[in-house]
């Protein structure tokens, strides 16, 4: 990268240089490109990364199917492009896409001091007036992220083209942004702080991995986000994974506060703070169990893992005896293993001799909450409130409402851990 030239700020790439027995290298082919106006505003690490991506794209027909070495004089790129386990979600979107593109190749990244990186130096003195034609398949994975959604992608593309604000944003993304926010029309000034993070793929604006939603679809998507009636915090957590528009947090708060069902079933303020349980070291180590009901003409067995916050809900019908409870708990253990501790209240099903014998045979420590203080089993009690609130807002189909609620709860980042329960317990991110 020629960082000394303020006019051209050229990038250049060198195809794999064969090494001869005497250790010397002889270039096979050269390529260079003059940075566009928008590219000149990239940060230094992005410019250095752009040089590598340009070189790989330019000589892609020579690199596919074989292992090669990327030589750079910018040492931070070793940890960015050399990391095989994936980049953090919130890293700069360009670096994220470039890393995904390079993941389709077999390569090693090698650092070489600038003084010894002279093979490509001559190219910084020979800028090209136009960029060569380059295969654009590097964006295929981003297109797939958008096209994988069969409900939204075509509609978003159509609405984005019709949206006056986003049409202006696309024009500035492609032609370059002004240096000051005040030079933009008032209606799109809120996009200015993120100007260097926007990209356009197939007519859809992306901010990182999030879709920028046109105005015509905002209300529809807010209704979809609130379909299972999550609270403000959980609804924001869901939205921040897939979509964005200026003021989305305020719109989410208005959506939740204006929901009649949420207002009717809103919890009372908490009375006092209890001493918290110690946080388990691993999933399924301490399980909190309780019975909910009679509710919707049934009794329900509730189980919550204290580490991952993964919930299980089992319909017991009218049979809530110790024997039936043990049968359902045993089914859960067959899936996830036997926990070290079970926490329950002092209900007759849990303090019976039969239940105590079941715990003893399986090497489980059974702890009961304080009498007349159900909040000491707060892990299960809190989930029961969320469970009843969601089911009360359902459409009358118990099974469908329960499945939708559990799926939403398990795949939404939890307020305590910051991670979805399914990711913690299953060690992978489920497809949603």
pLDDT in tens, 115-170: 777 666 655 555 555 555 444 544 554 454 444 444 467 888 888 899 999 999 99
330 and 363 within one domain: yes
Percent over 70 (pLDDT), the chain: 80
The domain boundary residue, chosen from 264, 298, 320: 264
345 and 393 within one domain: yes
Looking at per-residue pLDDT, the higher value among 360 and 70 belongs to 360
Question: What CATH number should be reported for the domain holding residue 403?
Answer: 3.30.420.10
Q: How far is CA 79 from the centre of its chain?
A: 21
131 and 197 within one domain: no
The domain boundary residue, chosen from 135, 170, 205: 135
**Number of domains into which the chain is organized:** 3
Question: Does the pLDDT value for residue 5 go beyond 50?
Answer: no
Looking at per-residue pLDDT, the higher value among 58 and 314 belongs to 314
pLDDT computed for residue 226 by the predictor: 86
292 and 259 within one domain: no
Q: What would the mean pLDDT of 294-309 be, rounded to a whole number?
A: 92
Q: Which residues of 174-207 are buried (b: 16+ CB within 10 A; e: fewer)?
A: eeebeeeeeebeeebeebbeebeebbebeebbbb
Looking at per-residue pLDDT, the higher value among 339 and 68 belongs to 339
297 and 235 within one domain: no
Residue 432 maps to a domain? no
Q: pLDDT band for position 343 (50/70/90)?
A: very high
pLDDT computed for residue 259 by the predictor: 86
Lowest mean pLDDT: which of 71-80, 289-298, 406-415? Answer: 71-80
92 and 150 within one domain: no
Whole-model pTM over 0.75: no
Q: What would the mean pLDDT of 231-251 be, rounded to a whole number?
A: 90
Q: What would the mean pLDDT of 190-207 be, rounded to a whole number?
A: 89
Range of the domain at 88: 10-135
The region that residue 309 occupies, defined by phi over 0 for left and psi between -120 and 50 for alpha, beta otherwise, is: left
Q: Mean pLDDT over all residues of the chain?
A: 81
Q: Which residues pair with 301 in a beta bridge?
A: 291, 314
pLDDT computed for residue 83 by the predictor: 62
The domain boundary residue, chosen from 234, 264, 294: 264
pLDDT computed for residue 7 by the predictor: 41
């Amino acid at each position: 990268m020629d960082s000394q030239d303020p006019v051209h700020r050229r990038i250049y790439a060198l195809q794999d240089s064969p090494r001869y027995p005497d250790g010397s290298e002889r270039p096979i082919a050269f390529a260079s490109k003059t940075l566009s106006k928008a590219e000149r505003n990239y940060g230094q690490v992005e410019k250095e990364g752009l040089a590598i991506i340009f070189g790989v794209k330019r000589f892609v027909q020579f690199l596919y199917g074989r292992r090669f070495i990327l030589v750079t004089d910018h040492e931070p790129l070793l940890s960015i492009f050399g990391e095989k386990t994936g980049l953090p979600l919130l890293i700069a979107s360009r670096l994220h896409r470039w890393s995904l593109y390079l993941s389709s190749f077999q390569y090693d990244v090698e650092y070489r001091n600038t003084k010894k990186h002279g093979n490509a130096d001559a190219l910084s003195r020979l800028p090209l007036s136009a960029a060569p034609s380059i295969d654009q398949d590097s964006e295929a994975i981003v297109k797939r992220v958008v096209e994988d959604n069969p409900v939204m992608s075509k509609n978003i593309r159509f609405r984005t083209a019709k949206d006056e604000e986003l049409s202006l944003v696309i024009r500035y993304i492609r032609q370059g942004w002004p240096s000051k926010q005040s030079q933009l029309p008032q209606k799109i000034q809120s996009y200015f702080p993120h100007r260097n993070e926007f990209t356009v793929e197939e007519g859809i604006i992306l901010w990182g991995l999030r879709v920028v939603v046109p105005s015509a679809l905002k209300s529809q998507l807010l209704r979809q986000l609130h379909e299972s009636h999550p609270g403000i915090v959980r609804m924001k957590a869901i939205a921040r994974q897939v979509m964005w528009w200026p003021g989305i947090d305020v719109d989410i708060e208005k959506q939740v506060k204006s929901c009649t069902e949420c207002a009717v079933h809103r919890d009372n303020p908490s009375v006092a703070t209890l001493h918290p349980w110690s946080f388990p070291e691993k999933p399924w180590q301490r399980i909190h169990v309780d019975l909910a009901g009679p509710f919707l003409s049934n009794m329900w067995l509730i189980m919550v893992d204290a580490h991952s916050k993964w919930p299980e809900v089992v319909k017991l019908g009218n049979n809530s005896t110790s024997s039936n409870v043990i049968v359902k708990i045993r089914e859960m253990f067959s899936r996830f293993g036997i926990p070290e501790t079970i926490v329950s209240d002092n209900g007759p099903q849990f303090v019976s001799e039969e239940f105590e014998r079941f715990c003893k045979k399986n090497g489980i420590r059974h702890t009961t909450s304080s009498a007349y203080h159900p909040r000491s089993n707060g892990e299960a009690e809190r989930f029961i409130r969320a469970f009843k609130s969601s089911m009360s807002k359902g459409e009358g189909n118990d099974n469908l409402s329960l499945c939708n609620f559990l799926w939403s709860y398990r795949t939404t980042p939890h307020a305590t851990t910051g991670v979805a329960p399914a990711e913690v317990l299953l060690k992978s991110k489920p497809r949603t």
